[in-house]
Amino acid sequence: MDRMLDAGVHIVLANGGTGEFPYLRWNERKELAELIGNHVAGRAVYMVQTSAVSTSETIEMTQHAKDIGADAAMVLPPYFEGPNMDGVYDHFEKVASAVDIPIMVYNIPQCSNIDITPDFFKRLLEIDNIEYIKDSTGDIVRIQELLRTGGSVFNGGDPITFQSLLA
């Protein structure tokens, strides 16, 4: 991590999908977030992926992220037996209103079975603290459409990394 921080990486994310967050116990996720946050220590923006099966658990993890000094939280829609889109909106609204920290919506429909479309993300942007989206659809047209919403867009689809930098 030090080599990346010394090289000027801008954001460090704890408990991401590549970090296998669903397989960690709650205390392990919290300990890992604390360890990484202490190591980053202001050298980059520090974000914690706080998703959980339920909204109440997501709020708990997001509050923990804020309490340990995270700059933002990345949140999936409810991903197991997911609700309809009104329920997804309600989930994000409850998390964002419960914890005063910027929220990055994480769209990875191939894993969550819920697709955060550009129109839906524009609606989510009306909620205080919803500021960003990480879109992992791998669709460059989707990235371009999301950019037009006015929110900050991060690409999570590796095959289109180069193209997304040009979007």
Catalytic residue positions?
A: 106, 134
Does residue 12 contact residue 47 with C-beta atoms inside 8 Å?
yes
Does residue 41 contact residue 29 with C-beta atoms inside 8 Å?
no
Q: Which of 86, 38, 20, 29 is nearest to 58 (CA)?
A: 29
Question: Rounded to whole angstroms, how far apart are CA atoms 165 and 75?
Answer: 23
